[in-house]
Amino acid sequence: METVVTKNRNRDKVILNSAPMEGIKIDGFMGEYLQRAVDITIPSQYEMLEQTGRIDNFRVCSGKSGKHKGYIFNDSDVYKWLEAASYAMLFSKNNRLKGLLSKLVDEIAAAQSPDGYINTFYCGKESERWSNLAANHEMYCLGHLISAGITNYRATGKKKLFHVALKAAKHLVKMFGAKESPATPGHPAIEMALVELYRETEDKRYLDLAVKLIERRGKGALGGSEYLIDHKSFVELREVTGHAVRMLYLCSGAADVYSELGNESLLKTLELLWDNMTGRKISVTGGVGARHEGEAFGEDFELFSHTAYNETCAAIASFMWNWRMFLISGNSKYVDLMEKTLYNAILVGISFDGKRYFYDNPLENRGDHRRQEWFDCACCPTNIIRILTSFPGYIYSISEKDIWVNFFENGEAILPFGESFVKISQITNYPWSGKVNFEVETEIEKAFSIYLRIPEWAKEGFTITVNSEEIEPVIEKGYARIKGVWKGKRYIEMDLMMKINPIVANPLVRENVGKIAITFGPIVYCAEGNDNLGVADIWNLFVNRREGPKIEYIPNLFGGINVIKGKGKALKTENWDKKLYKSYEKNEYIETSYKLIPYFLWANRDESPMCIWLNSF
Ligand code: FUB
Ligand code: ZN
Predicted structure pTM score: 0.98
612 lies in the same domain as 522: yes
Q: Which of 228-242, 344-358, 562-576 bottoms out in mean pLDDT, i.e. has the lowest? A: 562-576
pLDDT tens digits for range 502-528: 999 999 999 999 999 999 999 999 999
pLDDT tops 80 at residue 548: no
Give me ligand 2 centre to Cα 316, in Å: 9
The CATH number of whichever domain residue 460 belongs to comes to: 2.60.40.1180
Nearest-atom index, ligand 1, CA of 311 = 8
Beta carbons within 8 Å of 293's beta carbon, 6+ residues apart: none
Mean pLDDT of the chain: 96
Domain region containing 457:
398-496
Check residue 546 and give its pLDDT. Answer: 85
pLDDT tens digits for range 244-288: 999 999 999 999 999 999 999 999 999 999 999 999 999 999 999
pLDDT tops 80 at residue 31: yes
Look at residues 464, 496, 528 and tell me which one is the last residue of a structural domain: 496
The confidence band for 11, taking pLDDT boundaries of 50, 70 and 90, is confident
Number of domains observed in the structure of the chain: 2
477 lies in the same domain as 432: yes
What is the rounded distance in angstroms from the CA atom of residue 340 to the CA atom of residue 334? 10
pLDDT tens digits for range 78-103: 999 999 999 999 999 889 999 999 99
Is residue 534 included in any domain, yes or no?
yes
491 lies in the same domain as 523: no
482 lies in the same domain as 578: no
pLDDT tops 80 at residue 575: no
* Pocket probe mutation, ligand 1, options 144, 147, 187, max atoms within 8 Å of Cβ: 187
Nearest-atom index, ligand 1, CA of 295 = 8
pLDDT tops 80 at residue 353: yes
Ligand nearest to the CA of 187: 1
Is residue 72 included in any domain, yes or no?
no
Check residue 534 and give its pLDDT. Answer: 84
564 lies in the same domain as 595: yes
Q: Would you put residue 478 in left (φ > 0), alpha (ψ -120 to 50) or beta? A: left
DSSP state of 346: I
What are the pocket residues of ligand 1 if the criterion is a CB atom closer than 6 Å to any ligand atom?
Answer: 73, 187, 245, 295, 311, 313, 377, 379
* Pocket probe mutation, ligand 1, options 80, 313, 321, 375, max atoms within 8 Å of Cβ: 313
pLDDT tens digits for range 377-419: 999 999 999 999 999 999 999 998 999 999 999 999 999 998 8
Look at residues 496, 531, 556 and tell me which one is the last residue of a structural domain: 496
426 lies in the same domain as 468: yes
Task: Tell me the average pLDDT across 310-321.
Answer: 98
514 lies in the same domain as 461: no
pLDDT tops 90 at residue 1: no
Beta carbons within 8 Å of 308's beta carbon, 6+ residues apart: 283, 287, 290, 360, 361, 362, 363
pLDDT tens digits for range 451-494: 999 999 999 999 999 999 999 999 999 999 999 999 999 999 99
| Percent of the chain whose pLDDT exceeds 90 | 93
Give me ligand 2 centre to Cα 349, in Å: 10
Check residue 144 and give its pLDDT. Answer: 98
Q: If we measure between CA atoms, which residue out of 542, 551, 544, 546 comes closest to residue 523?
A: 551
415 lies in the same domain as 518: no
Give me ligand 1 centre to Cα 295, in Å: 8
539 lies in the same domain as 485: no
Check residue 572 and give its pLDDT. Answer: 87
Indicate which residue's Cα is closest to atom 4 of ligand 1. Answer: 379
Give me ligand 1 centre to Cα 191, in Å: 16
Indicate which residue's Cα is closest to atom 6 of ligand 1. Answer: 245
Per DSSP, the three-state class of 460 is coil
Give me ligand 1 centre to Cα 318, in Å: 14
Give me ligand 2 centre to Cα 382, in Å: 8
Is residue 487 included in any domain, yes or no?
yes
Look at residues 496, 523, 553 and tell me which one is the last residue of a structural domain: 496
The confidence band for 199, taking pLDDT boundaries of 50, 70 and 90, is very high
